[in-house]
Every structure is written in C-alpha cells, then in structure tokens.
Structure 1
Amino acid sequence: MSLLPSRRTVHSVHRDAISGASADGGRSRRPFRLLQRLILFLVAAIIFHGVSLFAVTQIVRVHPELMTSNPVVGELLCGQGMKLRLDFSPPDAGRRRGLAAWIDCVDAQGFIDRDAGTLAAILSGLVLTIPFAVIMLGIVLRMKRGPHERAFMLVMTAPEPMDWFTRLAFCVVVLGIAAIIAGAVSGYITQYRPALVLEHPATIRLACGENLKPRVVFPYSRSRRLGCFTQTGHEDHAVSRFAMLRLLAPLYLLIVVPGIWLVFRIRTMRRTRAVPMKD
C-alpha cells in the first residue's frame, strides 16, 4: 500500500477546507458604490490637507521668501490687487501663532484683511493636497471588492496562538505610536501653547526641577526647544537636554503601559489569507 495519499482525496479535502472557511470569513461582498468612494476620498483629502498645512507652515517659517518674493503667489492666495505679507509677531501682541496669523493680505490702500489671510493659509496647503488628491482619486475609483471581481478569495483562518515574535512586533508598534504622539505634543506645546509649561508649577518642577525656570529657546525657528534657566538668566544645558523628555514622560507611560497590557492580553489571532480561485 502506498504511503502517499490519494490525489482525489487531497483535492476534495482542500476544496472542503476552502468552502468551510469561505462560509465564515471569505464571504463575497459587493463593490464600493460611488457615494461610498466619494466619502472615502473626501475624508482622506481632508486629513491630508491638514498634514499639508502643517508642512507648509514649517517651510514658510524657514524660507519665507518662497511666498513673498513672487508677486504671483500673493495674487493667487490673497486675490487680485492684494499683496501678501508675512508678519512673525510674537503671540504676546494678541495674535495666535500659526500660518493663518502670519499671512497678511494688504490692499492698495494699506488695509490688512485678516480673513483673507486665513483663506490664504488654507489655499497654501493645496500645493501638496492637489497631487495627492489626483493619485488618491484614481486609487479609490479602481477599488474593487468581492471574489467575483478578482482571481482570489480572502479566507479567515482558524484562531492561532500568538507567538512571541508577533507579540514583540505589536509592542514595538505601541512604543512607536506613543513616541509619535509625544513628539506631536511637544511640538504643539513649544509652537502654540508654551504657557502650558511656563505658567503651571507642576510642569515647571517636572521639566526643570526646583530652582530653574523653563523657557522656549528660538521660538520662531526650527531649532526651538525647551530650556531651563537660572534666576540670573543663564541656561543649564545639562538639565535642558532632557527637559522635554521629563515633561512628556507621564504622557508616554500613560500610552505605553495600557498598550502593552492589551498586547499581552491577546491570546490568539486570526489571519487573512488569499486563496486562489480555481475551477
């Protein structure tokens, strides 16, 4: 008797496994409708436009001549007959920091239109948003779902025990997400809300200790950071080096500890595999 199984038996078992799995997780779905694709496109475009505004703000901070040197840019952002001007006044003058507050649209009589500056800031992000929108629109329109439109079927496998390599990969993802959130919070504090650190005794003690006071160094450049200074105005570079890390350590731990706890709570996981569809 041969030790090799029958070819017909292997084929039948394979088809039964696929049919049983497809009944649970490989169920066919209808393609995206036009309205669903438009909603997905608009959500992605709005999210990327916010990222574009942040990128343009950082570029204008370092190279303001990209907006002010060419009069055509001022006409495109502010309108016909308007001149674009950048004003990096400190926030103590009653103005909020950001691209919308930095852009001033000045007419021929010298009148400053604040609302036009806000609209100009929104339009400036279209330089990066429009190319992304064109690419994203093509991807969304070509999206298809369901096995009747592709040569494979997505099958959900049975629950499998999570190995240590996968668990470690999830822990690395949690640490990375926490680092990104902490970095974004540090940039937001030093750029838009420095009063959150400079005015509260708890944050002052956490960042610089008892006898030092925090201060934002180089607030209008890419080199801005949080520094710790003595009563005489001298900076303690050894303490300033880790001031932001000490300040954001509670936030980092607040994200990392529950995230790693949830990762270790996961016992099993189900994977999605692509099974070729054959007659």
Structure 2
Amino acid sequence: MKILLLGGTKDSINIIKFIKKNFDAFILTTTTTEYGAKLAKDGGSDATIARPLPKNELIDIITKESYEILIDATHPFAEHITQTSVSIAKELKIPYLRFERPITNMENIDTSHIQYVKSFVEAGELIANEFNEGNVLHFAGANTMADIVKNVSIDRFYPRILKVEKSIEKCRELNISQDHIIPMTGAASTEENIQLIEKYDAIVMITKESGEIGGVIDKIQAANEKDIAVIMIQRPEINEINKENIVSNLDELDIKLKKLL
C-alpha cells in the first residue's frame, strides 16, 4: 500500500507511527518546513518532501509513483490545501481520507474570557477597538501575524513561533523586534502559558480553535488564571469534503484503511 500523507501536524506523526505499526505501507509525507519533515522522518515516514507543493506537482507525484491513498492530516486551518487535496482525489479517482482533530470539548471549561471571531483580520480589529492598551500574545503561528498587525501596533505584539528561518523571515518582513519573538518547540502547558502572560504583561491572547492536541485548553486555563481575554478564531468550514471521508481518531482511521484494503 502506497500512501501520500499531507502532514506537518502532531496528528500526522501519530498517523505515521500507527500505519507503520499496523499495515504494510510505504508513506511519503509532505510538509511545508524542514522541521516538519524531520519530525515525519523520525516518526517513521519512508520519504518526505519539505516544501509547499502546488496541485500539479501533487498530481505528478501521485500518478508517476502510483500512490493509492491520499490522507490529509494538515492543520484544521489549512483550508486551501484541504480543498486542493479533495479536488485531486476526485480528479485521479483515488481514495481520500481527511484526519480532522475533534473540536475542543469545553464542557467543563470556564469560557467566560473567550471572544470568538471568524478571521485574523477580525481579531486584529477587535483588539484595536476593545484592547487598545497593553500587550498582545499571538499563539496562532507566523503565517497569521500580518492580518493582526494591520490593526495592532508591533510595539505591543508578541508572537510565539517555531524558530525556523521561514517564520523568522516573516517577523523581519513585519519589522517585529527580535526581543518580541517567543520561540516555540511544541504546545505549552498551562503553567508555561501563565509564565508568558506574566513575563510580557499581556492583556489578551490570540489562538486558533485547533483542538486539545494544539494546547487550546492550556491556553484558556492560563488566561482564566490571569484574568485576561482570549480571542479565538473559529475553524473554517470546508464544504468540499464528503463527511464519509472524515476520521477523527486512529480507530476510525484503522476501520477506513481496512475497508480500502
């Protein structure tokens, strides 16, 4: 079984380990960064590609190398690549599975500090209007910073990013000071988030609704503890996906793969 896995998330590493343990499969994992590719390789992926791939290149790889299954385990907010991967699977008539991490269970969480928005531009506008003094912690990745700083001064903007050249370059392009950059190696604990709120004297935190694996609960609990606001960007709805092709855990993935075999 030859699988093309669109990765770059912690979910994708878990998928690689699970498939290599339970199936006779060759896995090529694509990521947008060298760091993501290294993690995939360490997780057991047979091959990796560490750069964004346009649609035509993905089609060439699948057809020339005879990949039989396309698994999309990209981030819930990577809307464009998910739309692209769905169209590729339809065009090539190969099985497509979308691994979509569950929405965060807020049942026992104090959500009184959360304000929901639909985009990062909207988040920046909300901060400009309602939190126009004090510092802003940005826990939503380097690719989303530009939409925030359209309305928020970089003097009070503190992003937590992976310390890879691509992310550092985005900070340079936006003139974000080196001493405002918070290096990240993975999801932070509640206590680590509290320490960052205190260190940078933050009054508001920006995050995506990226699920428990993305550390959302720890961010909310830290904000609750320090009585600061959380601006949470809601997940985009991707209408192109057939719900029958969505799995949310490894057990569901196992059932789908066994059916395909």
Q: Same fold (TM over 0.5)?
A: no
Task: Select the structure that is richer in helix.
Answer: 1
Larger Rg: 1
Task: Select the structure that is richer in strand.
Answer: 2
Question: TM-score normalised to the size of structure 1?
Answer: 0.26
Question: TM-score normalised to the size of structure 2?
Answer: 0.27
